[in-house]
Chain A
Amino acid sequence: MSAEGHDHGHDHEHEHHHKDTFITKYIFSIDHKMIAKQYLLTGIIMGVIGVGMSMLFRMQLAWPEESFKIFNILLGDKFAPNGVMANDIYLALVTIHGTIMVFFVLTAGLSGTFSNLLIPLQIGARDMASGFMNMISYWLFFLSSVIMVCSLFVEAGPASAGWTIYPPLSALPQAIPGSGMGMTLWLVSMAIFIASSLMGSLNYVVTVINLRTKGMSMTRLPLTIWAFFVTAIIGIVSFPVLLSAALLLIFDRSFGTSFFLSDIYIAGEVLHYQGGSPVLFEHLFWFLGHPEVYIVLLPALGITSEVIATNSRKPIFGYRAMIMSILAIAFLSTIVWGHHMFISGMNPFLGSVFTFTTLLIAIPSAVKAFNYITTLWKGNLQLNPAMLFSIGLVSTFITGGLTGIILGDSTLDINVHDTYFVVAHFHLVMGISALYGMFAGIYHWFPKMYGRMLNKNLGYVHFWVTAVCAYGVFFPMHFIGLAGLPRRYYTNTNFPLFDDLQNVNVLITTFALIGGAFQLVFLYNFFSSIFYGKRTVQNPWKSNTLEWTAPVEHIHGNWPGEIPEVHRWPYDYSNPAHDVDFVPQNVPMKEGEEVLHH
């Protein structure tokens, strides 16, 4: 197996060495490292749009219906006449913010970047199983991003039915203007996105199963690879269901079928739909929607495992327990979707079942959290920016995860469902945590991607301001949720009952604006370091995994000569049998050296 991969890689190298044009190298590249960078760059651009939108609607929430010149500049006279944000564009901003952040940034931007970069490099393969399919996968993602961005400019406005696009609201332009062309483009974009994601996932799974180098057994894989591998499987299982939901919705919208629609009277007339159910859509949507949370989160946790172990100079604690908990989370994630639907009108008995399965997820999650903390214990922590983001991830993962015990309990969900409490919960546990994972990955593997280092001091500033602002935004948000304030309200000035929450909203927005502005520090650091950063040494973090045995300069096939052979697990940090505090995976076992872990 490895010999084959090796020869194949060599062929590649010779074949391509001389005819690398600008187009084959930077645009239609089939090299996984270039594709990873393409994913990252697209993800960052989409991230700027997504985060920027949240700044706008946070301003509206803190200072409702006040005039801001920036609204008028960005949204135009139609959606922000005299600088006052209109109520339908508010919903559009919320919708597109959610869509972009969940799918385009934290699925494609995070998983797409690091699965592509690290799978071949860390398992010791020349490239992905199918470089061509990998390229198609990226370009479909790019196409879907372009369509999503284009949808912002259609006349009636972009999709505005929430990122969950529940019909009938998303199906009927009479119900909300964004459900016209805006929603059509949203659906087309997402269908293409799903195709892209499936191609990527299939590639990751096949590559991990087939192209591991000699000695790289499944139980010697770094936890990053385990996380990407399992994430890809979850994606393959659940994304097609969203595709079918999107297709059926397209049928309902365009061809008059009634999968999700029934008995509707709107704009003065009865529509012909009969016999469909919006609840069916909710089931299909959340069958992807919940696993999606783990598609976003597991890669971030995988990156964290690697970064924490390397920077603690210690083995990750409970390697096998970590794998088991990844598998347990993956399995459970496919049978908990109903906790988004406790009060959807489905049979309450189902509520009981989903409460049970949902709360079980807390067990593997607790194991992971405690294992991270134990890994820090008695370590020799190298507090690089990547490490700070990883520790930050564990912190927000715990804080956000704990409130999941409330939301996963159907009884308690009744009163906090769809309030700001939910917004606070999921932003901490998957939004912020996954973003931290992504930042950790970028700071850690930037040298691998660009051959240069990110500036650490800018990294420190970036982390600390972000960390304070993340809590500053989402901690107070729990309280306004518990006060009963529904999410997706353009303003709550029509409810004097909520007047005493306004000060909190101002505080939240202030933190959000500061936190958002400081992402510019990161952007500056990222783009300037690509060109002017300090050149890196081959293994700057003194890490054990195989990607650091490859030369700094990128070459097709990753390693100039033979692919390294693996002799040990990836976490031999501070192994008492060795003098140095790291022993890369390709270092043979010493004579008489024992395996010190299970």
Chain B
Amino acid sequence: MTSLLVIIVLVLLAVALWQLTKIFDLTQVGSNSDSSQVATDNDNNVQGYLMFGFLAFIYIFTIYGLFKWSPLVLHTPASEHGALVDNLMNITWVLIFIVQAITQVLLHYFAFKYRGKKDQKALYFADNNKLEAIWSVIPAVVLAGLILYGLYAWTNIMFVDEEEDTVVIELYAQQFNWKARYSGNDNVLGKANVRFIEGANSVGVDLSDPYSQDDIVVTELHIPKGKKVHFKMRSQDVLHSAYMPHFRAQMNCVPGMVTEFAFTPIYTTAEYRELPFMVEKVAKINTLRAKKSTELVAKGETALDPYTFDYLLLCNKICGASHYNMQMKIIVDTPEDYKKWLSDKATLVQEVKTANAPAPVEGGTGKDSTSTKDTAAVAKIAMK
């Protein structure tokens, strides 16, 4: 409601401005020539100063933003390759700020300095090969450097050496949640296809494949610190994107194909929580949440839980109405904790067996219940 009021106020403001211009026009009745809507020297003067003012605005706004909002952006990368990415990013930012600072000054300062005056004559300056060569060659050289660095980093990150000792984990995306499949002791994922989906076998693993016998399916992602994790991604319905911002990692999940991304985590969740910037960030978020909670309680609603940091896997490709809530917690453990956590988990084969064993009918119901749930979800969306 307030914003509606704001809009009304703005409209009235606009009307007021228009009235002012009308009055301004009336004061110029004497000079009511056909060219009255072409900029006069007076206009040039005012607009020239405004141009200069706008330059100040850009600068102040930029500096204000850098101070105020820089603490919001992603900080220390939690993966090995992250440092490479951030380094390239910082170099690029320095270049961008230099170019931005210079060009905006020139543009707006010239607009101010050379604002039109009656007896001023412009310089007839049509071309200059030397100047043009300078501003073609300098960007070319600088970009060549950026391209080379970029390609070096990209090749390092994206090409996974199959020989390397990695932990192979499948990320499985569906509307609107994530699952993870661990490859087990053989470190090879069993074959899979959505056509195998049935009951407890919710990610469509081919249970007759020998490699699938030790596969484990979970809904919370644990990965070991210091070990390269090789993610293989699948999707069962539409495009999703596995986005792990703290690890500088992202890859789309595409139905019908397997995509991959690999990285080495370098901080356990506990360690990352203790980093000074994170302590500060969490404290700030909790202050905001406490404030919001007081408001909510006053309205008779439940308060918000205080926030503790966790790594997240977010969906970052539009995937349906609940796209905004498709996430999975990622926990980076020490290698020992990771092993311990994993050893507790039942394999998919065992799970399917338990689901089917007591009463064989249950398997069927299991399947039905998933499908009813999914249909219900769709129906719910459709109803909205």
Contact = CB atoms under 8 A, between A and B. Distances in A.
A315 B122 CA distance: 9
A380 B117 contact: yes
B251 A486 contact: no
Nearest to A510: B6
A169 B121 CA distance: 60
A48 to B, nearest CB: 14
Given A169-B318, A345-B251, A418 B125 contact: no
A411 interface: yes
Contact of B114 (A348, A377, A418): A377
B334 to A, nearest CB: 23
Nearest to A178: B321
A551 interface: no
Contact of A381 (B24, B48, B54, B195): B48
A534 B36 contact: yes
A453 B238 contact: no
A193 interface: no
Interface stretch (A237-245, A297-305, A554-562, A567-575): A567-575
Given A266-B374, A415-B74, A573-B122, A278 B256 contact: yes
A355 B318 contact: no
Contacts of A367: 132, 135-136
B8 to A, nearest CB: 9
A415 B100 contact: no
A266 to B, nearest CB: 4
Given A376-B110, A381-B115, A87 B322 contact: yes
B122 A320 contact: no
A376 B150 contact: no
Contacts of B25: 455, 457
A372 B111 CA distance: 11
A317 B125 contact: yes
Given A419-B316, A460-B47, A268 B147 contact: no
A164 to B, nearest CB: 8
A166 B106 CA distance: 42
**DSSP class of B's interface residues: helix, strand, loop or mixed?**
helix
B65 A479 contact: yes
Contact of B122 (A175, A270, A379, A417): A379
A414 B250 contact: yes
Nearest to A542: B38
A265 B312 contact: no
Interface stretch (A111-119, A223-231, A249-257, A489-497): A489-497
Given A344-B252, A524-B18, A384 B39 contact: yes
Nearest to B312: A497
A362 B255 contact: no
A166 B114 CA distance: 49
Nearest to B384: A86
Interface in A361-409: 362-363, 366-367, 369-374, 376-384, 387-388, 391, 394-395, 398-399, 402-403, 405-406, 409
A479 B62 CA distance: 11
B3 A88 contact: no
Nearest to B159: A348
Given A175-B237, A395-B107, A314 B122 contact: yes
Contacts of B100: 398-399, 402
Given A264-B236, A458-B18, A483-B73, A363 B143 contact: yes
Interface in B231-276: 233, 236-239, 241, 243, 245-246, 248-252, 254-257, 259
A590 to B, nearest CB: 15
Contacts of A453: 34, 36-38
B7 A517 contact: yes
Contacts of B104: 395, 398-399
A70 B4 contact: yes
A494 B110 contact: no
B357 interface: no
A490 B47 contact: no
A277 B38 contact: no
A172 interface: yes
A344 B245 CA distance: 16
Contacts of A495: 312, 314, 327
Interface string A455-480: 11110110010011001100110011
Nearest to B155: A352
Nearest to B55: A395
Interface stretch (A7-15, A27-35, A126-134, A498-506): A498-506
Contacts of B250: 343, 414-415, 417-418
A494 B125 contact: no
A426 B153 CA distance: 25
A499 B288 contact: yes
A91 interface: yes
Contacts of A499: 285, 288-289, 307
A89 B48 CA distance: 44
Interface stretch (B88-96, B178-186, B347-355): B88-96
Contact of B4 (A69, A268, A480, A494): A69
B43 to A, nearest CB: 6
A2 interface: no
B226 interface: no
B4 A376 contact: no
B83 interface: no
Interface in A263-298: 263-270, 274-279
A391 B236 contact: no
A268 B371 contact: yes
B151 A352 contact: yes
Given A363-B139, A373-B107, A402-B99, A91 B132 contact: no
B175 interface: yes
* Residue in A79, A267, A371 whose Cβ sees the most chain B Cβ within 10 Å: A267
Contacts of A596: 124, 126
A162 interface: yes
B309 interface: yes
Interface string B42-85: 01100110110010011001100100011011100000000011
B359 interface: no
Nearest to B111: A391
Contacts of B372: 268
B370 interface: yes
Given A317-B125, A415-B250, A263 B256 contact: yes
B324 interface: yes
Contacts of B50: 464
A489 B110 CA distance: 42
B262 to A, nearest CB: 11
B382 interface: yes
B219 to A, nearest CB: 16
B125 A382 contact: no
Contacts of A101: none
B86 to A, nearest CB: 9
A68 B3 contact: yes
B103 interface: yes
A597 B126 contact: yes
A219 interface: no
B54 A382 contact: no
Contacts of B7: 513, 517
B318 A351 contact: no
Contact of A405 (B57, B146, B236, B315): B146
10 contacts: A68-B4, A265-B195, A321-B127, A405-B92, A409-B88, A415-B249, A483-B73, A486-B243, A490-B321, A574-B121
Interface of B: 1, 3-4, 6-7, 10-11, 14, 17-18, 21, 24-25, 32, 34-39, 43-44, 47-48, 50-51, 54, 57-58, 61-62, 65, 69-70, 72-74, 84-85, 88-89, 92, 95-96, 99-100, 103-104, 106-108, 110-111, 114-117, 120-128, 131-132, 135-136, 139-140, 143, 146-147, 150-151, 153-155, 157-159, 174-175, 193-195, 197, 204, 233, 236-239, 241, 243, 245-246, 248-252, 254-257, 259, 281, 284-285, 288-289, 304, 307, 309, 312, 314-325, 327, 370-372, 374-375, 378, 381-382, 384
Given A176-B320, A456-B37, A598-B126, 6 more contacts: A79-B384, A313-B122, A362-B139, A381-B116, A484-B245, A490-B324
